[in-house]
Amino acid sequence: MNPAPPSAAPAAPTLTVSAAASLLLATALWASNAIVGRYLAAFIPPLTLNWMRWSLALILLLPLAGWVLKPGSPLWRHWKRYAALGLLGIGAYNSLQYWALHTSSALNVTLVGSSTPLWMLLVGRLFFGARIRPLDLAGVALSITGVGVVMTRGEWAALAGIQFVPGDLLMIAASIVWAFYNWLLSRTREPAAVRADWAGFLLAQIALGVMWSSAFAAAEWTLPAVPPALVLTPLVAALVFYVALGPALVSYRFWSLGVQKTNATISGFFINFTPVFAALMSTVLLGEPPQLYHGVAFALIISGVFVSSRR
């Protein structure tokens, strides 16, 4: 996604205010996605929900970037790259997350998702030749500690009461998939015509990602455990529209901006703001004021991001 040619060395990553704001907005929207996805689990099968979400996102984005799908556009010359991004970021990651929410709580899903920075480091080292620095490991420790503060409400003895279910394993797989997506996203050198148009770049991923999602959803209905029908109410339809617009289009736009300006490792630490935002949203929905432990957790995660971004 950088304008430099493939042979150019990547610039040293930096964390700017605009990059941090972009990544924070994306994670806030993804926190709401976990809450809404848990609610929708009672009405829509998980892989079908993912297909509905991204198909609607595709329709919403077509007026802005329909040129990408026309013959001769840069999409078709680089379709393998977009097919990989679509599989990882659109098809697999979101399907695994919604599937996890069918058997796990939004709390557990965001907790397990806090392992993402660690997977970012491991995937980067094993598959992309990235170096793991002591500061990166220190950042992971601080960040995960902050997540622990949120999950336990500041009482570490509560960790003994947290129970993990099979859906949490799906979320671990989703975190690994997300790590691959982000490294591929940060290392990609997009054609100038696509890089200059954020909607075109996103639509290129979604168009091929919906193909993967369609295949996954079709396979889902062959499984005996899938509910026999959808339950579509006005509220359910409104929530599907929300996850297509906010946690899909808007969040992916700002996440891509943040990854461009930093790298996969630094941006990965921002994933751990998701459970913080999820906890804050829950308190608002329940009419409870934010607590001191929210501030402590936020400070710890911010410290982890700061330490990992030091050069």
- Confidence tier at 240 by pLDDT (50, 70, 90): very high
Computed over every residue of the chain, the mean pLDDT equals 82
Under 8 Å between Cβ of 271 and 113: yes
pLDDT at 192: 61
The more confidently predicted of residues 127 and 305 is 127
Q: pLDDT for 196-230, tens place per residue?
A: 688 888 999 999 999 999 999 999 888 776 655 78
Give the integer Cα–Cα distance in Å for 165 and 107.
12
Q: pTM of this prediction?
A: 0.82
Question: b/e per residue, 66-77, with b = 16+ CB within 10 A?
Answer: ebbeeeebbbee
The predicted model gives 79-90 an average pLDDT of: 92
pLDDT at 308: 72
Query: Counting every residue, how long is the chain?
Result: 311
Residue 282 has pLDDT above 90, yes or no: no
Residue 123 has pLDDT above 60, yes or no: yes
Give the integer Cα–Cα distance in Å for 268 and 2.
19
- Confidence tier at 28 by pLDDT (50, 70, 90): very high
Amino acid identity, position 96:
L
pLDDT at 9: 40
- Confidence tier at 156 by pLDDT (50, 70, 90): low
The predicted model gives 148-160 an average pLDDT of: 69
The predicted model gives 53-63 an average pLDDT of: 96
Give the residue from 8, 16, 4 showing the smallest Cα distance to 259.
16
Residue 1 has pLDDT above 50, yes or no: no
Q: What percent of the chain has pLDDT over 90?
A: 32
Helix spans in 41-105 (H):
46-65, 74-77, 79-85, 93-103
- Confidence tier at 261 by pLDDT (50, 70, 90): confident
pLDDT at 2: 35
Segment (H or E) for 273: helix 273-285
